[in-house]
Amino acid sequence: MSQQTDDFVFFVTVVESGSLTNASITLDMSLPTVSRKLQNLESYYNTKLIQRNAKRFRLTESGQLLFMRSQEIISLINNTKQSISNNHKSIDGKIRIGCLSQFGRQYLNEIINDFSRIYSDIIFEILLSDSRMDLVEDELDFLFQIEKPISDNLSSLKFVSGRRVYCASEEYFQKKGMPDNPDQLKAHDCICLTRNHHLYNEWFFNQSKSRVQVIPKLISNNSELIQQWLLEGKGIASKLSWDVEEDLQHRKLVECLNKYSDISLNLYVVFDETYFLPRHKVFFDFLVSYASKDKNR
């Protein structure tokens, strides 16, 4: 006979019932079956567990020890089962994310809201910046960036596929005209991004085979301010397609030079999987699922 969990449950029930007759009722077994199972237990341990008569009984020293150990084992099994079944509810801690400003406000906020409905105990710290961030130096768990990581120690997930878009408002084009080719940008009011002390005033075309150095009318290190200037009709800017797709769809902005602008750009989620804790793993799995819904934002 091998010792099974049911044997521990049986013995505790018998003891707590106070008699074999009561135990037979509780266990929904015949009295002879209860008596036989108890005898089998005593045979297994090679000792008397209960001193019993027709109506009542008392535990022997060995029986008292088995009763205590059985309660502990049953409690451990129940607690383990509960912990495993509630595992996702108990995942907590902080996740620190770095992201481009505009994408963070337009899309990342929605992603975190959806995720938090499932894992409400996880805290998020979000760093939004159009300046270059570093996963290690900035002590980030995840970093949304355009470039794939250079380090072999880091991994990445392609999150969004897009391209470079040159656009302005209809109001601006009505006033200044739409450029027919990239060289005509030199005569237009151009809005440029500056990032980490670098001015992005070289705009690339034809799969980066040609470029035009524009003269900026307005400069900012914030992509959202640049988009605001676009909507106000203050000039032409180079934007990421996922940042302006909604405004293009609603004709608040109009694309120009699209036959020259064929530069594909992807947004990657960068991470170091070797440091993943349960909270990082469930969030990464959520990002993978989210990205698969919309690969061409």
Q: What is the pLDDT of residues 183-209, one digit of tens each?
A: 999 999 999 999 888 999 999 887 667
pLDDT of 296 reads: 41
The whole model's pTM is what? 0.65
pLDDT of 47 reads: 92
Structure tokens at 284: 């990464």
Task: Name the DSSP class of 267.
Answer: E
Distance between CA 110 and CA 254 in Å, rounded? 26
State the average pLDDT for the chain.
88
Say if residues 235 and 219 touch (Cβ distance below 8 Å).
Answer: no
Domain 89-161+265-293 is of which CATH architecture? 3-Layer(aba) Sandwich (3.40)
Summarised one tens digit per residue, pLDDT across range 112-139 is 999 999 898 999 999 999 888 999 999 9
Nearest C-alpha neighbor of 246 from the set 128, 107, 104, 145: 107
With helix as H, strand as E and coil as C, how does 63-81 read? HHHHHHHHHHHHHHHHHHH
Q: What is the CATH number of domain 5-85?
A: 1.10.10.10
Q: What residue segments make up the domains of the chain, in order of their start? A: 5-85, 89-161+265-293, 163-264
Largest CA distance in the chain: 109
Q: How far is CA 76 from CA 3, 68, 70, 80, 82, in A?
A: 16, 12, 10, 6, 10
Which residue intervals of the chain are DSSP H helices?
5-17, 20-27, 31-45, 61-85, 87-90, 101-103, 109-116, 170-176, 223-231, 241-249, 278-293
Structure tokens at 10: 């049986």
pLDDT of 1 reads: 39
Summarised one tens digit per residue, pLDDT across range 55-100 is 557 899 998 999 999 898 888 888 777 666 655 556 889 999 999 9
Going by C-beta distance under 8 Å and a sequence separation of 6 or more, which residues neighbour residue 242?
Answer: 103, 106, 107, 160, 162, 267, 297
Residue range 163-264 forms a domain whose CATH class is alpha beta
Q: Same topology for domains 89-161+265-293 and 163-264, yes or no?
A: yes
CA 295-296-297 angle, to 5 degrees, is 105
pLDDT of 89 reads: 57
Distance between CA 64 and CA 268 in Å, rounded? 62
pLDDT at residue 250 above 70? yes
pLDDT at residue 252 above 50? yes
> What DSSP element (H or E) covers 126?
strand 122-128
SS3 38: helix
